[in-house]
Amino acid sequence: VSELREWRPVIYRKCTDTVWLLLFFLFWTGLMFITGYAVMAGAAERLVLGYDSFGNICGRKNAPVKGAPLSGQDMTNKKYVFFLNSCSLEMQSLKISSLSLCVSSCPQEQLNSLEDLQSFARNNGSCLCVYNLNISSYTLNPKAAELCPTLPVPPSKSFPLFNRCVPQNPECYSKYASVLISMVNEMDVFHRILGGILTGKDTVIGLSVLALAFSFILVLAFRFIRPLLVHTLIALVVFGLLFVSGVLWWLYYDYRNDPSTELETEKENVKFLLGYAIFSTVVTVVLLSIILVLRKRLPFTVQLFRIVGKIIGRIPFLLFQPLWTFLILIVFWVVWVAVLLSLGTAGTAQTTSGGQVEYRALSGICYMAWYHFIGLIWTSEFILACQQMTIAGAVVTCYFNRNKSSPPPHPVLSSISVLFCYHLGTAVKGSFLITILRIPRMVLLYLYNVLKQKESACAKCLFKCCFCWVWCQEICLRYFNQHAYTTTAIHGTNFCTSAKDAVFILAKNSAKLASISCFGDFILFLGKVFVVCFTVFGGLMAFNYHRELQAWVVPLLLVGFFAYLISHSFLSVFEVTVDAMFLCFAIDMETNDGSAEKPYFVDQELLSFVSQSNKLTEGQKQRSMRSFQDNEDGTELQPMV
């Protein structure tokens, strides 16, 4: 069937993979339910801002809680949590036993009497007694000793991360710190990670903007590429890999030998840093080896990107396509993180004796979080797939155009309209297959964390092999997905038919095109590594200043993930253009013979480039074969004389 197919961009199309589009719609219905539930039941501010014993979140206006008369107060100017019994705190079921209040400032000096408390409240506007006790009644109310902090009140400072008043008295501080460490260590890892993300949100956003700037600079650089630029990029990537690996090992050594490492978040930072350092070192060694092997193909790479730049010059709006994709991804990621934070704090406020409020976590939150995480992967991959199909459609339209000097009008808009009218289901199916390969990796990671205490070398080796196998499958699937999207853009077939046809064409022309496109993809991959390296380095410098009580290595992983997606979104313009161009070339060579009846669609410059590259490849093969034969002759056994 594939051999008889008439390869031309079809005019009359039909919708493809509509069942998958319906499935995606149903999946997003579930995401909308989780979003609504998280917004109604969650309060992300409680993670960082803190709240008092009456259900008021410090630093904001609050809604009243039924059965709690002191709830629902305006705490906009009261940003710090103050414990009435800070020198003798105790932990009971993840809850500190002492009564807590929201105050506008922490006492800088020791307060020894109720008169001192009254004077502090009048001078600083910070009331350290229960809200319903008037300042003038501090020394008159017989119950003031119960409604005010235990005397003497030690001097305290506001804690820089969680806005708590931390006592400065050595005895009180040691007791307070031990209880706070116990509370953070007993918190669920999910909540600790949420706290790290929320407190470092400004840094994450700033680093994402930095990755955007790096990616945009690289897009312009590849558009007007020169030999010196390729060498400069390779030098910067090598420097970045070596430098980031060295910084990661140095930070790991510094954290591991720090005697003050007591918090579970700090121990998690050490573990993650070790993993980052090992991964970065392995990637550095592998990439340096590949660069050394492929260094002789740099001139052909420059020529290849000149041809790609010529195609993009005919479709200049392709350079703006990643910008729209990036904006859509940013909006989706911001909404996704906001929902995740709200979901992590979803709980019901329940009143206890004395009008106090406790927040009880709701059941089923963990399952919702997993569903939400799958939604992140699937939707992000779907958005990127739509961009790939849009670029492929525009390239296909320009390639199969006889008059190269007069490109078709609005090829990008035409490609977008074809995608949204006919082929959204194909993009959904391709992105779902990528998501399916991500799920086993998550399951393997979970099992690895559960079984790592057994310290079995055989189990660790097995898990690492499974990780590698799944990762290789994902890389191969991404490659075939891209060619399936291009085939759909040409002939309008569904995903499976397009993938089968693409495999058939590529298999017949793999010897001609593999060596050409692979090195171009490798240079683009180096560009992505450049963006990730320098963004992660900026994150290391920024997050390293906030070690205490913050799992900053997880936000750093999020920064690296965002940086890679941003760079992939921008540089995929060239990647998709190269792959689509060579698939169109293979189809052109397959269906035409260059005669007057069946002339080629290919541009003469591209045809000569492929011929020269194939001659170089054939010459290298012949030299290697002669070298092998010479070695065989040289090692032939001679008869003994």
Most confident of 38-52, 272-286, 372-386: 372-386
- Mean pLDDT for all residues in the chain: 77
pTM above 0.75, yes or no: no
Among 365, 364, 343, which Cα is nearest to 46's?
343
DSSP 488-548: HHHH---HHHHHHHHHHHHHHHHHHHHHHHHHHHHHHHHHHHHHHHHHHHHHHHHHTT--T
- Tens digits of residue pLDDT in 157-170: 876 556 778 888 77
**pLDDT tens, residue by residue, 364-375:** 777 888 888 899
Under the banding of pLDDT at 50, 70 and 90, the label for residue 187 is very low
Q: Measured between alpha carbons, how far is residue 498 from residues 201, 347, 430, 518 in Å? A: 42, 48, 11, 22
| C-alpha span between 109 and 119 (Å, rounded) | 12
Residue 378 pLDDT grade (very low, low, confident, very high; cuts 50, 70, 90): very high
Buried b (16+ CB within 10 A) or exposed e, 619-628: eeeeeeeeee
640, burial (CB in 10 Å: exposed 0-12, middle 13-18, buried 19+): exposed
Structure-token match 């050409």, residue found: 516
Q: Name the pairing type of β-strands 80-83 and 91-92.
A: unpaired
Distance, in Å, from the CA atom of 637 to the CA atom of 332, rounded to the nearest integer, reads 70
Q: What is the largest CA-CA distance in the chain?
A: 121
Preceding peptide of 69 cis, ω within 30° = no
Average of per-residue pLDDT across 13-23 = 91
Q: 337 vs 193, 331, 373, 539, CA distance in Å?
A: 12, 10, 10, 18
Handedness of CA 249, 251, 253, 256 (dihedral sign): negative
Beta bridge pairs of residue 357: 351
Is the distance from CB of 614 to CB of 586 less than 8 angstroms?
no
What's the pLDDT score for residue 215? 83
**Would you list the DSSP string of 299-319?**
HHHHHHHHHHHHHHHHSGGGG
pLDDT (0 to 100) of residue 91 = 58
Tokens 């996704």 sit at which residue? 336
CB 72 within 8 A of CB 56: yes
Secondary structure class of 415 (helix, strand, coil): helix
In whole angstroms, what is the distance from residue 492 CA to residue 405 CA? 26
pLDDT at 150 over 70: yes
DSSP state of 135: G
What is the arithmetic mean of pLDDT over 508-523? 68
Q: Which region among 184-188, 286-290, 331-335, 391-395 has the lowest average model confidence (pLDDT)?
A: 184-188
pLDDT tens, residue by residue, 413-472: 888 998 999 999 999 999 999 988 877 777 776 676 666 655 566 766 777 777 778 878
pLDDT at 616 over 60: no
Higher pLDDT, 544 or 339: 339
Size (the chain), residues? 641
- Top pLDDT among 548 and 620 is at 620
Residue 626 has pLDDT above 60, yes or no: no
